[in-house]
Structure 1
Amino acid sequence: MHTQPNQRRELGAFLRSRRERITPDQVGLPRTGRRRTPGLRREELALLAGISATWYTYLEQGRDIRASDHVLNALASALQLDRYERGHLLQLAGHAVAAEPEEPEPLAAEAAAVPLLLQPHPAYIIGGTYDVLSYNQAADELFPHLTAAADRPANFARWVFLEPAARTVLVDWELEARGLLARLRTLAGRHPGDPRYSRLIDELKTGSPEVRAWWPQYDVQARHNGRKRLRRPGRGVINYAYTAFHLAEQPEQTLVIYSCEAPVD
């Protein structure tokens, strides 16, 4: 699969960010001399991966070269990437076919009705770009102002970073926001050139200093189940467990259901 210049630049930046977070001690290399940059040198990483240092430099510089699966997996191992980061690397290198963008994102009527049936449990369905495609009243109350915009679809990423109420509701705001941005990067990597992602990311960068600071760190993460501490007016801080289900015919559409656990003293 041919890669575009912006995709190659993303690949180079992702490799560089991961190279800079690995220390010589982590991979059993001796520390020699002063280092101008953090992490491994390009030559050291190339040695660990068993490839030419010049060839690796071209790859990190975003030159139009084709990396094989063998080389990419060797780099992933040398960089100690987890499975989500490894998948993101392969996506950026053009080793997976990106789906054609769809706009607006369709949602089957049967699926749209599910959050309503789950009341009183807060529930919503989000698309690949975190647009809120369907939700129930409990979700609207749990995340105030999430669905208030009349000129465009509600968007959970936009709410987290640009809605002031989010920093009050999400007790662990930075942890939650970093995780969401990492998941958004993972999804964007599957759709290089899709304007839906570029528009959203540009908007978040414009409105959020945290996104401007964190986006270059190239963190990636898959959607998952978990727990959140949410602050409710008049009720204090409450623990919620949430479960995410991918829709069968639209795997990037996700049904998220919250269940209340117990107030936090």
Structure 2
Amino acid sequence: MMDGELGAFLRSRREALRPGQVGLPEGVRRRTPGLRRAELATLAQVSVEYLTRLEQGRDTRPSPEILAALADALRLDDADRQHLQELASVNHRQQLCAGERSAVSRTVRPEVRALLEALRDRPAYLLNRLGDVLAWNETFDRLARPLGLLDGAHPNLVWFVFTDERAREYFPDWAELADQQVTELHGLRRGDPATDAFAERLGRTVGAPFMSRWQRRPVAVRSTGVRWLRHPEVGPLRLAYETLDVADDQQRLVVQLPADAASAEALDRLLGRRPGGLRSVAG
């Protein structure tokens, strides 16, 4: 169960909010990043004592009215509001108890494998909620194996991004990619002890590059976007990606497509295909 997570989440959002964002003077002698407790309490019209109890985990069930007031005062976006409601719901213990979550799935259904193969013209791979790369098609193998991502018997995308120096070399937007991996890990967490154990191991291994992101508790997951890749064999690639949830399996299917004509031609070369065989998203 996510003991103390409600308070930690509120504190993370308070410390991330600058006074100027809510119309308060910045000041010059602030020992606390972001808003002070007293400032947030005033904005939300709650007592400092009550806000302290919430942040320290001594009260885990604020009323819907207080939740709304805190969300408004903290300028939370939709994803953060939803996460806050989940943490503080009336059925908090039933919803977020570790025993209620199924084990991390590492089994790939035959139908999903068939779908991966059907996407033979596009790199595609399957992840579970820990970022384990469970299955992939031949096109993704040709793309990812030279990077080192598929080294070892049990490749993991999050672990590769943070622990393998090649990731920083091959992904020019490494910092953005690292943010995304932590956001997905945190957004799918929801009381899963396996996720917490994985995050603890990763934090011990790499320290601040992971922990500073993990402690911010990001939850707004992006299911689509464009990623830059400096491929060791064919050079720069811009790959658009689409992420699809696999029903009931807590798994995600990621499909990549060339984002421009140059990337489509480079991917053709990598796959040994006739130039122009692949079309870019823009084309």
Partner of 1:214: 213
Instruction: Give the drift of 1:104.
Output: 4.0
Q: Does 1:84 align with 2:79?
A: yes
Which residue is equivalent to 1:48?
A: 43
CA distance in 1, matches of 2:25, 2:104: 52
SS at match of 1:181: helix
Are 1:124 and 1:132, in contact at CA under 8 Å, matched by a contact in 2?
A: yes
User: Post-superposition shift, 1:231?
Assistant: 1.4
Distance 2:221 2:142 in 1: 26
Q: Does the C-alpha gap of structure 1 residues 169 and 217 become closer, same or farther in structure 2, counting only changes over 3 Å?
A: same
Distance across 2 between alignment mates of 1:195 and 1:30: 41
Q: Structure 1 residues 67, 106: closer, same or farther in 2, change over 3 A? A: farther
TM-superposed CA distance for 1:54, in Å, is 0.9
> 1:86-101 maps to which residues of 2 (within 5 A)?
86-94=81-89, 97-98=95-96, 99-101=100-102
Cα deviation, 1:44-81, whole Å, max 9, x if unaligned, reads: 21121122221111101121442122222221111111
Shift in Å, 1:131:
1.7
Matched, 1:140 2:136: no
Note the aligned Cα RMSD (angstroms): 2.2
CA distance in 2, matches of 1:183, 1:47: 33
Pair 220,103 (structure 1): closer, same or farther in 2 beyond 3 Å: closer
Whichever of the two has the greater Rg, that structure is: 2
Q: Decide whether aligned partners of structure 1 residues 39 and 121 sit closer, same or farther in structure 2, where only a CA change above 3 A counts.
A: same
Q: Aligned pair in 2 of structure 1 residues 116, 40: CA closer, same or farther (>3 Å)?
A: same
Change over 3 Å in CA distance of 1:33–1:127 after alignment to 2: closer
Task: Give the alignment's TM-score, normalised by structure 1.
Answer: 0.86
SS of residue paired to 2:242: strand
Distance 1:24 1:73, change over 3 A: same
Partner amino acid for 1:14?
F
CA-to-aligned-CA distance 1:157-184 (integer Å, 9 cap, x gap): 1121122322222121111111211221
**Aligned letter for 1:7?**
D
Q: Distance in 1 between matches of 2:252 and 2:26?
A: 46
- What is the percentage of aligned positions where both structures have the same residue? 38
Query: What residue is the counterpart of 1:112 in the other structure?
Result: 113
Q: State the Cα deviation string for residues 191-232 of structure 1 (Å, max 9, x = none).
A: x1x232022112211222310232222222214101001112
In the alignment, which residue of structure 2 is the partner of 1:59? 54
Structure-1 residue corresponding to 2:268 = none
The match for 1:234 is 233
Show CA shifts across 1:129-153 (max 9, x none): 2122221122123223333322xx3
Matched residues, number: 253
Note if 1:123 corresponds to 2:130.
Answer: no
CA distance in 2, matches of 1:217, 1:181: 10
Aligned equivalents of 1:164 and 1:187: distance in 2?
26
Equivalent pair of 1:179/1:221 in contact (CA under 8 Å): no
Gaps of 5+ in 1: none
